[in-house]
Amino acid sequence: MITIDHIESIIIDVPTVRGHVLSMTTMMTQSVVLLRVRFSDGSEGWGEGASIGGLSYGPESVESIKLAVDSYIAPVLLGRDADRIAAASGLMARAVKGNHAARAAVETALWDGLARRLGTSVAQLFGGCIHERLPVAWTLASGNSETDIAEAEQMLSERRHRDFKLKIGKRKVKDDLAHVAAIARAVGDRGTIRVDVNQAWSLTEARYGVKGLQEIGCVLVEQPVPRERLHGLRALSQGYEIAIMADEVLQGPADAMRVAAERAADVFAVKVCQSGGLMPAAEVIAIARAAGIGLYGGTMLESGLGTAAAVQLFATVPELAWGTELFGPLLLTEEILAQPLEYRDFSVAVPTAPGIGVAPDPDKVKFYRRDRSDTLRA
C-alpha cells in the first residue's frame, strides 16, 4: 500500500499586474496556498487553495486554509492509503466542516499524485478530455473605463481574450451602467461583455441594474445579490432575458442542488476551491447538466497550479456554454510554474503531461513564499 507520508502547505504572495478593483476590495497581490503531498513510494502531488482579497470575498483566507490543512486535515490523512481518494475525502469531510478551499487543495494533490503514479492525466481519471483547448475570458477591473478599454484592445489584438468580465458594484448603479456601456461600445461585435457584481446590490438596485445591462447588450450578470438572497437571484433570473450566473452562492453540491431546485440561476460558475475539490466540482457540474443550467469554468484566481487542475476537470465537460475564466496565472507578475500553461487564440491548452500536467518552479516558490519574507524581515 502506498501511503500519504507528508503534507506541506506553503503560502505565496505574488503581485498582480495591476490593481484588480472588485466591489469589496482592491487586490494588489494574490496570495494562494501551494499544497505538496509526499507519498511513501517517493511520488508527490500538488494542489492549490486560493481565496480572493483576504476574507473580503468569502469565508476562507490563505491563513485559514493553511491552518485547516496543518492542524486538522494532515493529522487525519497521514499514513492513509494514497490511492483511496474517496476514502480520504470522507475523512476530511468528517474532520473539517466547511473550509472548502483547504479540502480542495489536499484533494487536488491526491488526484495529481494518483494520476502521476498511473502515468496519466487527471482529466483521464475524470472520464477523459473532450476538449484540447478551453476558451478563456479576461476580467477588466482596473477601476477606470479608459484603462479597461485600452486593455480590452490589447487582448483582442494579441488574440488572447475576446470575452470580457467587468467587475462592478463599487460605484453607484448608474455610474456602473455608464462604465459598462462605454466598454461594450468600444468592444462592439468583436467580443462579449459580462459583469460580476460580487453580491454588492440590493434586489432593488439589481432590478434597475440588470435591466440597464440587458439594454446595453451585456450577456450575463454574475452574483448580483448576496448569496443568502436566493429569492432575489431567482426573481432576477425569471424577470429578465439576460443570463444570471450563480457564483458565491455555490459552496458545493448541496448549494448547487438548492439553486437548481429553485431554478434561481441560468448559469453556474463552477470553482474547484469553492466546491471543495475536483470531485465535488464534478458533482456541481452534474447537477447543472441534469437541471439544464449552463456551465462556466470559474476561477478563484489560482496560480498556474490550481488553474491547471481546473483545466483538467473542465476539459472533460461536454458543454461549457459560457467558456471559462481560467486566466489566474496571467494576472500575476510572475509565472510560478516550471512550464507555463499555453494561452493563445482566446484559449488555453489542456496540458498533457501526467497528473494536473504542470509543476511549480522550486526557485519561484522559494522566492515568493511568505515564510521566507518573514525570515528576511526578522
Where along the sequence are the contacts to ligand MUC (CB under 6 A)?
A: 52, 139, 141, 196, 198, 247, 298-299, 301, 325
Least distance from C-beta 271 to Mg ion, angstroms? 8
**Integer Cα distance of 244 and 214 in angstroms:** 11
Least distance from C-beta 52 to ligand MUC, angstroms? 5
User: Which residue's CB is nearer to Mg ion, number 298 or number 355?
Assistant: 298
Specify the stretch interacting with Mg ion by CB under 5 A; choose among 113-121, 188-196, 234-242, 368-376.
Answer: 188-196
196 binds Mg ion (CB under 5 A): yes
Chain-centroid distance of CA 109 in Å reads 16
Specify the stretch interacting with Mg ion by CB under 5 A; choose among 37-45, 72-80, 195-203, 258-266.
Answer: 195-203
CB neighbours of 190 closer than 8 A, spacing ≥ 6? 156, 162
CB neighbours of 44 closer than 8 A, spacing ≥ 6? 36, 37, 38, 113, 116
Single-letter code of the amino acid located at 233: L
User: Which residue's CB is nearer to ligand MUC, number 43 or number 142?
Assistant: 142
247 binds Mg ion (CB under 5 A): yes
User: Which residue's CB is nearer to ligand MUC, number 331 or number 359?
Assistant: 331
Single-letter code of the amino acid located at 253: P
Least distance from C-beta 75 to ligand MUC, angstroms? 31
Residue nearest to Mg ion (CB): 247
Least distance from C-beta 96 to Mg ion, angstroms? 24
User: Which residue's CB is nearer to ligand MUC, number 48 or number 325?
Assistant: 325
302 binds Mg ion (CB under 5 A): no
User: Which residue's CB is nearer to Mg ion, number 151 or number 222?
Assistant: 222
Cell 491552518 appears where? 67
Among candidate residues 114, 100, 123, the one with its CA nearest the CA of residue 256: 100
In the list ligand MUC, Mg ion, none, the entry touching 139 (Cβ below 5 to 8 angstroms by class) is ligand MUC
User: Which residue's CB is nearer to ligand MUC, number 32 or number 301?
Assistant: 301
| Cβ–Cβ under 8 Å, residues 296 and 284 | no
User: Which amino acids are annotated catalytic?
Assistant: 167
CB neighbours of 97 closer than 8 A, spacing ≥ 6? none
What is the DSSP secondary-structure string of 112-163?
HHHHHHHTSBHHHHTT--S-SEEEB-EEE-SS-HHHHHHHHHHHHHTTS--E
Using CA atoms, how far residue 65 sits from 3, 98, 105, in Å, is 23, 11, 9
Specify the stretch interacting with Mg ion by CB under 5 A; choose among 245-253, 315-323, 332-340, 352-360.
Answer: 245-253
Least distance from C-beta 100 to ligand MUC, angstroms? 15
Among candidate residues 59, 67, 79, the one with its CA nearest the CA of residue 105: 67
Least distance from C-beta 16 to ligand MUC, angstroms? 10
Q: What share of the chain is helix, strand, coil (3-state, %, to 5)?
A: 45, 20, 35
**Integer Cα distance of 195 and 179 in angstroms:** 11
163 binds Mg ion (CB under 5 A): no
**Integer Cα distance of 89 and 81 in angstroms:** 12
In the list ligand MUC, Mg ion, none, the entry touching 283 (Cβ below 5 to 8 angstroms by class) is none
In the list ligand MUC, Mg ion, none, the entry touching 301 (Cβ below 5 to 8 angstroms by class) is ligand MUC
User: Which residue's CB is nearer to Mg ion, number 299 or number 347?
Assistant: 299
In the list ligand MUC, Mg ion, none, the entry touching 110 (Cβ below 5 to 8 angstroms by class) is none
Least distance from C-beta 167 to Mg ion, angstroms? 9
DSSP 8-state symbol, 69: I
Where does this chain bind Mg ion (CB under 5 A)?
196, 222, 247
